[in-house]
Amino acid sequence: MATTTRSVEESCVAAKRASRKLAGVSSADKDAALDAVVRLLGERVGEILEANAADLADERAAGLTQALRDRLTLSEDRVAAMAEGVRAVAALDDPIGEELERKTLSGGLDLRKVRVPLGVVAVVYEARPNVTIDCAALTIKSGNAIVLRGSSYAERSNGALAAVVREALVEAGLPEDAVLLVGGGREDLAELATQEGNVDLLIPRGGEGLKNALKDVAKVPVIYAAAGNCHVYVHAEADLEMARKIAYNAKVQRPGVCNAAETLLVDAAVAPDFLPGVLADLHGAGVELVGDERVRELARGVEVGAATEADWSTEYLDLKMAVGVVDSLEEAVDHVNTHGTTHSEAIVTSSQEASERFTAGVDAAVVYTNASTRFTDGFEFGMGAEIGNSTQKLHARGPIGLRELTTYKYVVRGDGQVRE
């Protein structure tokens, strides 16, 4: 088990020491560590799955919803997918040392703006063991140390995965404490959020409860990888077969993740033709449907419950979806901006003008035209992996990848200049 027996503060201090060493490591050495992670994931897959099976059998996991159990569950394919993500991260250009700007000042000083690591990143996450590997790979490549605090539901799985990464670091001659896994309860979470001077950025991945708990106590900078109440809007000029496919995929393909659609909005002009078929598709896939009065009238025998006001603002993370009819694109945009969480929103339309109006009007990290919201993902966006999806505007928005885990410094060279 790789969970540290140190206190939270001791772990953060150790991570800070490791971050200073890692900041100066070559790209080749960082890639060697990532290559070792890939190899060890293959060699230890049996141990990892055994640990995961024990987590799933634990009484603490007994009350999880099916969607949460899916997020917790590992398989040979999912471990292989983790390894593929690490390979993809290793193949990316190292952002550290990248020159962002260069100019000569009036006194002859040579000024360069270069990319550098943040230092120590702390990530709090729920029952998704793959996050352990994704986060570790991204921070190693970007020259940061990481303190991981996973869910107690996944304690054994996370421990087995963190042990793989720490062994790979040692094998590559890098500081083992660049990746640390801590446990603990709510008090330890509060302590992690107050590690000023030791933690440079905290990224919580979880629901509104976790977000609110940290808002009350956090003293370190926080990027909230927050809820995803995502929408698909079917415009009056949509290709209805395309819209049917996109709406189904956005809800059903993997309902327990933040980029799954929770609400389907349909323009009144196409609702009579579109809704009966898509509602039957969704119901056939086991989706519990709730809707407004116009949707229920057009359901043609498909069971659709009455949507409450709360339904429009709920991230279900499950096979449930709210469906509404709107009278215009402007009404759809207003609905999305009122009830959405600025994560990912989609319009299905053949109109370029409508696409541009929706894209400009919706406040979200990612806006799609004629595509499923399920693509909001670091791997899909060519980032190799992600630490989370930021719904904020500073300093990162959307998938948090390598460059989002960096800052910059100014490097100035002179030949004896003094300021008069």
Q: Give me the pLDDT at residue 226, please.
A: 67
180 in a domain, yes or no?
yes
How many alpha carbons lie under 13 Å from residue 380 in its C-beta half-sphere? 12
Of the listed ranges 180-189, 364-373, 408-417, the least confidently predicted one is: 180-189
Give the chain's domain count.
2
pLDDT for residue 132:
96
pLDDT recorded at residue 4: 61
Query: Are the C-beta atoms of residues 12 and 192 closer than 8 Å to each other?
Result: yes
Helices (H), 128-270: 130-141, 155-171, 186-192, 208-215, 240-252
283 preceded by cis ω (within 30°)? no
pLDDT at position 41 over 90: yes
Domain limits for position 293: 230-375
- pLDDT tens digit sequence for 177-234: 999 999 877 778 889 999 999 999 999 987 777 888 888 899 999 998 768 999 999 9
| Residue 118 falls inside a structural domain | yes
d(CA 256, CA 130): 14
Quick check: is 419 in a domain?
A: no
Say if 380 falls within a structural domain.
no
For residues 244 and 219, membership in a common domain is answered with: no
Task: List the single range of 69-83, 332-346, 379-393 with lowest mean pLDDT.
Answer: 379-393
Q: Is the pLDDT of residue 299 over 90?
A: yes
**Which is more confidently placed, 1 or 179?**
179
CATH number where 206 lies: 3.40.605.10
**Is 207 in the same domain as 240?**
no
- CA 270 to CA 282: how far, in whole Å? 18
DSSP 24: T
User: Could you identify the residue written with the tokens 């190799």?
Assistant: 384
Q: Are 179 and 72 in the same domain?
A: yes
pLDDT at 1 over 70: no
Query: What was the pLDDT predicted at 268?
Result: 98
In whole angstroms, give the CA distance from residue 247 to residue 224: 27
With b for 16 or more beta-carbon neighbours within 10 A and e for fewer, the 264-294 pattern comes to bbbbebbbeebbeebbebbbeeebebbbbeb
Indicate if 136 and 268 belong to the same structural domain: no
In CATH, what number is assigned to the domain containing residue 300? 3.40.309.10
Helices (H), 3-126: 8-22, 27-43, 45-57, 66-72, 76-91
Q: Do residues 373 and 345 make contact, with C-beta atoms less than 8 angstroms apart?
A: yes
Which of 3-7, 21-25, 167-171 comes out lowest in average pLDDT?
A: 3-7
Phi-psi region of 197 (alpha: psi -120 to 50; beta: other; left: phi over 0): left
Closest by CA to 124, choosing from 210, 234, 242, is 210
| Same-domain check for residues 213 and 337 | no
Q: Is residue 188 part of a domain?
A: yes
- The verdict on residue 418 lying in a domain is no
Per-residue pLDDT, 101 = 97
Whether residue 119 is predicted with pLDDT greater than 80 in this model: the reply is yes
| One-letter-per-residue 3-state SS of 262-326 | EEEEEECCCHHHHHHHHHHHHHHCCCEEEECHHHHHCCCCCCCEECCHHHHHCCCCCCEEEEEEE
| pLDDT(166) > 60 | yes
- What value does the mean pLDDT take over residues 3-24? 92
pLDDT for position 3: 61
235 and 317 fall within a common domain: yes
Q: Which residue has the higher pLDDT, 385 or 334?
A: 334
Residue 348 pLDDT = 98
Task: Tell me: do 32 and 166 sit in the same domain.
Answer: yes
- What's the pLDDT at 17? 98
Task: Kindly state whether residues 75 and 177 are assigned to the same domain.
Answer: yes
**Mean predicted confidence (pLDDT) in 49-68:** 90
Report pLDDT digits (tens) over 383-401.
888 898 898 888 899 999 9
> Which tens digits make up the pLDDT trace of 255-294?
988 999 999 999 999 999 999 999 999 999 999 999 999 9
Phi, psi (deg, nearest 5) at residue 128: -135, 90
Kindly state whether residue 114 falls inside one of the protein's structural domains.
yes
Residues 55 and 143 in one domain: yes
- Residue 264 zone, left/alpha/beta (φ > 0; ψ -120 to 50; rest): beta
Does pLDDT of 149 surpass 80? yes
For residue 217, being part of any structural domain is answered with yes
- Are both 403 and 326 inside the same structural domain? no
221 shares its domain with 276:
no
Question: DSSP assignment, residue 185?
Answer: -
Q: Say yes or no: 162 and 194 in one domain.
A: yes
Instruction: Quickly state the pLDDT bin for 159 (edges 50, 70, 90).
Output: very high
The pLDDT score that the predictor gives to residue 214 is 87
pLDDT score, position 2: 64
Note the pLDDT of residue 127. 80
